[in-house]
Structure 1
Amino acid sequence: MKFMQLKKACLHGLVISATAVSALAPAWANTLTLNSPDNKIEVKLEHAQTLKYSVNVAGKSVILPSMIDLKLAGYKNLSEQVRITDSQRDTVNQWLTPEVKVKSAKIHDHYNQLTVTFSNGYKVQFRAFDNGVAYRFITDLDNKVTVLNEIAQFNFAKQADVYLPEEEGFYSHNERSYIYQKVADVAATTLASTPALVESNQIKVLVTETDLHDYAGMWLKGTGSNGLVATFPAYPLEKQALKPWVDRNEPITKRADYLARTQGKRNYPWRVLAIAQNDGELITNQLTYQLAAENKVQDISWIKPGKVAWDWFNANNLYGVDFKAGVNTQTYKYYIDFAAEYGIEYVILDEGWYPLGDLMGTVPEMDVPAIIAHANEKGVGIILWTSWLTLRDQFDQAMDRFAELGAVGIKPDFFQRDDQQMVNFYWKIADEAAKRKLLVDYHGSYKPAGLRRTYPNVISREGVKGLEWNKWSEDSTPEHNTILPFIRMVAGPMDYTPGAMSNAQGPAAYKGVDADHKDFTVRFERPMSQTTRVHQMAMLTVFESPLQMMADTPTNYRREHECAAFMAKVPTVWDQTKVLHGKIGDYISLARQHGDTWFVGTLNDEHARELALDLSFLDKGQKYQIEIFQDGINAARWAEDYKKIVKTVTANDKLVMKLAPSGGYTARISKL
């Protein structure tokens, strides 16, 4: 049977074409295909004894037939002699306006869709975009259901390699390094969080999920062959507070034999394959936003992106002051004064502002109402840290107290889980925070999975191995920094907390050159970075977080005023993003526009190199002033060495930028 599609053209509105096939058709083809709008991606759906899908990209086989299924207690699944009863095709072509402009002010949402209905009450819906494929299950069942398991296979063509964030277990902050290996070498016992990035047949496929709600998060395991398979944390039955941090650690000691108990009429999370033929295409992929449930917050005028003066990384260290620095009122008033002076929108009161375990209590050294009153006078917002477990136990009282104190946001921390119960708590926090006009920045969290679109007050989250790891390890390397934008950042904003002013060359920069020499030292109270100064500055442009931390101490920033003043002016949301250069694990160079001003950020791994800065993205015939911070000539030995250049440029200029090991450069380009 042939399908006929009625196509309509529309520039900015919704474009839909639909074809339905009667369930009474005498013959039904068990193979259906779906193509992306540009016809470069083809999805083939085959239903025989099982339901399998495969994906070809630009004529290359990328995903071999891979089984998908949903197993509900008391219902047949797709491997139990169910039949296809209906099929419908749609095309959507529209422009989305994100509530928070993480990558761009507009998103082109253009896809072809295939929805297949089965005799057991299931639907499977596939969407093919020019830059990826996604599918989800839909059930239309009268009663609540128990999800026993979900099968999601990813079988790759030819030999595939993967950047895999391996985990020890489901109880995790999801702050991992990405281990590069062959997919075939990933054991069935290996557990990994998502997103993960696979290269198969010269095509890159990032595996993640979005629209995660009332369900368990998706993780990955090996198959013992050239594939990965999804796995999920089962519903928690028993927990045990773990000493010494009983206010935040509650690992699961017993799990149920099911993933979730949920409504029978619902859409399940999208399984997302973000597809790129070159590394840079991953940076501009926004499928996790496009596929998420729409905004539920009617008034978003109060949601203000901005930067944060952060206290915890630098251990509240101040010097050259006439009071004892620490978790006390005078220290935070100093942070507020610094933020006001530099135009930084927010200050966080991190761990210690309340007696641990009691969000309704008061620490004698902290006059929180006086701190917030001082912040209000200076035009600075206060964000309050909280342990998730204490927040759960005192939820209504604590949320009311945050609002009564006049806080503008909260930073719940140490979740370490994404089973159904915890996922639902994320949604509860987001909803109740929105009612009180509170921003939310989740830490100790799982990766972004769509909640930021549904509740745009969820302005950022961690779930990333960030700068703080330099306080206790050598894991936060320049190579790691050049991997993150291509994997973790594709899922959504990441609160990496950049901006260290104490900089050194770490062991990676001396590997194979002088193994005994390194300047970097692990220091908890006075931490440093394993990168050059300029690498740290460039992170504010490269790493996406609408709530962007400046992690060093205010007195260090005042000492390094030239660098701090530049960073303080870097926006945290963008009208458009252009990838200038990108090679995962080696380098990343982005140009981002905010209003009439462009910012460029470039991060380098441990190898010195040159990259061209081609300014052809600027308006033709217009003169600009470019202010560049680049690695100094001695940055390979003294990582804090930098050089500032100010000159006039046009779109015709092409500059050659020299990057030190672990270095980079950053620039602000303004119209004259």
Structure 2
Amino acid sequence: MTLLQDPANKNRYKVNLVPAANGLNVRTQIPFYSPWRVFFFADNAADLAETMLLYNLNEPCKIENTEWIKPVNYVGIWWEMHLGISTWAMTERHGATTENMKAYIDFAANHGIDAVLAEGWNKGWENWGEKDAFSFTEAYPDFKLKELAEYADEKGVMIIGHHETGGDIELYERQLDSAFALYQSLGIHHVKTGYAGPTPDGEHKHGQFMVNHYNLVMQKAAEYEISLDVHEPVMFSGLCRTYPNLMTGEGVRGMEWNAWSEGNMPSHTCIIPFTRGMAGPIDYTPGIFDIDLSAHKEDREKWNSEDRGNTAVHATLANQLALMVVLYSPMQMAADLIENYEGHEAFSFIENMPATWDESIYLDAEIGEYIVVARRSGTTWYVAAITNEEKRDIAFIANFLNEGKTYIARMLYDSPESHYENNPEDYQILETEAQQLDGFNLKLAPGGGAIIVFEPD
């Protein structure tokens, strides 16, 4: 379902059911219950972002045993392909090799990262766009899946599997049971799916055919104790409550656009929590430290026609860290190459970051301008702030802290010289004591951000 704006009255919208290839909007049996149509109203933007209305309109959890559903922070073999450093297909620059994967697993084990993703591990990428291109059970010869699953388990690291369908729904559904059964046999409980290709002839992403498919995959994944991160999804609708293995999804112009196009401006991420974010968790894949993408410039090869050779992440490093808190995802990727993290003092903020939260409070926000959010995990609070292309002073009082307790506040924020265009990687770190009614004033650079961790002393 989508909404159509009335051209004669821009404040009026009409429900638009996306038709199937046969022209029918909906095919069902009677009696049936139509889904909720939801509009959100709030006195201010911060209250709007906090609402759980959409979740609560869905049915309670239908999965009896949820012990296997575990939120994770992860790194992985992904960003290097978007940069053109390596390839998904098996070439001399193939990214998902056993050697590369072991390096990522070692890094994750050494830095307290929960999981590692590998895209391009399975046969078929060289046939992109063709019918029946992919196998979801056969690995390329240079990627030893069973060996890597055992190696990761020994290191206490989880593997995130990957299924890119290329939009070939029939092929994926044919292999779905065998593909999930393979991962289950190897102790792999997280899978990222992708639909970066055309849907079957006459069908549309938000039509009933594709909605039924996404729901089938979600339910089938639950049978095999697999949690999903769905890219190119149908719009989320709160089903995470009924099937909490539907952990997160994309459905947004994400980080990869910064690797091979004009990219996303800072205001973009100041809008997402009030649009796509209202529908559920977002796998935006933030956390880039090599902001100007210069660290591996000589290793890059152009692969996307939108790449004009001047790509960059339009944010400061402090903004990239803050996005990992602002944009909620219980499968949260630190997306940069691990060599850009190794030995970097700012990475300590990612090492200890929770993958999910016990409580969230939006302290202040204006849509498209700035966001300040506080999130709690156990007794530790994180505050993150981001701004658009304008520099900004953000003031807040830490009234969410426990009365009478002293906290150590560790902060990373933009320096006075920071700017997302010409000095994006400059930042400052400060540690101080804090109590409940202490005030904080954050000076955010254009495209900037800040993150503060409050831990009980």
TM-score where L is the length of structure 2: 0.86
Matching of residues 161-310 of structure 1 within 5 Å? 217-226=1-10, 227-235=12-20, 255-310=21-76
SS at match of 2:404: coil
Is the counterpart of residue 558 in structure 1 residue 347 in structure 2? no
1:586 maps to what in 2?
A: 369
1:365 maps to what in 2?
A: 142
Identity of aligned residues (%): 32
What count of residue pairs does the alignment treat as equivalent? 416
1:50 maps to what in 2?
A: none
Deviation at 1:351, TM superposition (A): 2.7
1:313 maps to what in 2?
A: 79
Q: Which runs of 5+ in 2 are unaligned?
A: 87-91, 126-133, 200-204, 294-305
For 2:93 and 2:99, the matched residues in 1 are separated by 8
Question: Deviations 1:233-280 (Å, cap 9, x if unpaired)?
Answer: 212xxxxxxxxxxxxxxxxxxx22311211212221110011112111
Question: Deviations 1:482-538 (Å, cap 9, x if unpaired)?
Answer: 111122111110110000011259xxxxxxxxxxxxxxxx86999741100000000
For 1:528 and 1:393, the matched residues in 2 are separated by 40
SS at match of 2:96: coil
Relative to total residues, which structure has the larger strand share, 1 or 2?
Answer: 1
User: Is the CA contact 1:308–1:548 (under 8 Å) kept in the aligned structure 2?
Assistant: yes
Deviation at 1:633, TM superposition (A): 2.1
Residue type at the aligned position of 2:370: Y
Is the counterpart of residue 339 in structure 1 residue 108 in structure 2? yes
For 1:527 and 1:305, the matched residues in 2 are separated by 32
Residue type at the aligned position of 2:335: A
For 1:478 and 1:464, the matched residues in 2 are separated by 14
For 1:387 and 1:543, the matched residues in 2 are separated by 24
After the TM superposition, which segments of 4 or more aligned residues of structure 1 sit over 6 Å from their partners?
522-527
1:599 maps to what in 2?
A: 382
The 1:296/1:661 distance shift into structure 2, 3 A limit, reads: same
Deviation at 1:332, TM superposition (A): 0.4
SS at match of 2:416: coil
Ranked by relative contact order (alpha carbons within 8 Å, sequence separation 6 or more), the top structure is: 2
User: Is the CA contact 1:220–1:228 (under 8 Å) kept in the aligned structure 2?
Assistant: yes
Is the counterpart of residue 484 in structure 1 residue 272 in structure 2? yes
Relative to total residues, which structure has the larger helix share, 1 or 2?
Answer: 2
User: Is the CA contact 2:109–2:155 (under 8 Å) kept in the aligned structure 1?
Assistant: yes
User: Is the CA contact 1:630–1:642 (under 8 Å) kept in the aligned structure 2?
Assistant: yes
For 2:27 and 2:94, the matched residues in 1 are separated by 50
User: Is the CA contact 2:95–2:120 (under 8 Å) kept in the aligned structure 1?
Assistant: no
The 1:523/1:649 distance shift into structure 2, 3 A limit, reads: farther
Bigger Cα displacement from structure 2, 636-645 vs 309-318: 309-318
User: Is the CA contact 2:402–2:436 (under 8 Å) kept in the aligned structure 1?
Assistant: yes
Is the counterpart of residue 463 in structure 1 residue 256 in structure 2? no
User: Is the CA contact 1:504–1:638 (under 8 Å) kept in the aligned structure 2?
Assistant: no
Deviation at 1:366, TM superposition (A): 0.7
The 1:629/1:307 distance shift into structure 2, 3 A limit, reads: same
Residue type at the aligned position of 1:403: Q
Deviation at 1:652, TM superposition (A): 2.5
1:540 maps to what in 2?
A: 324
User: Which of the numbers 629, 651, 655 marks the counterpart of 2:440?
Assistant: 655
For 2:93 and 2:194, the matched residues in 1 are separated by 27
SS at match of 1:538: helix
Matching of residues 55-204 of structure 1 within 5 Å? none
Q: Which runs of 5+ in 1 are unaligned?
A: 1-216, 236-254, 506-521
Higher Cα radius of gyration: 1
SS at match of 2:79: coil
User: Which of the numbers 191, 195, 214 marks the counterpart of 1:410?
Assistant: 191
1:643 maps to what in 2?
A: 428
SS at match of 1:590: strand
For the aligned residue pairs, the C-alpha RMSD in angstroms reads 2.2
Residue type at the aligned position of 1:327: A
SS at match of 1:459: strand
Matching of residues 659-670 of structure 1 within 5 Å? 659-670=444-455
Residue type at the aligned position of 1:642: Y
Question: Deviations 1:128-166 (Å, cap 9, x if unpaired)?
Answer: xxxxxxxxxxxxxxxxxxxxxxxxxxxxxxxxxxxxxxx
Residue type at the aligned position of 1:270: W
User: Is the CA contact 1:588–1:604 (under 8 Å) kept in the aligned structure 2?
Assistant: yes
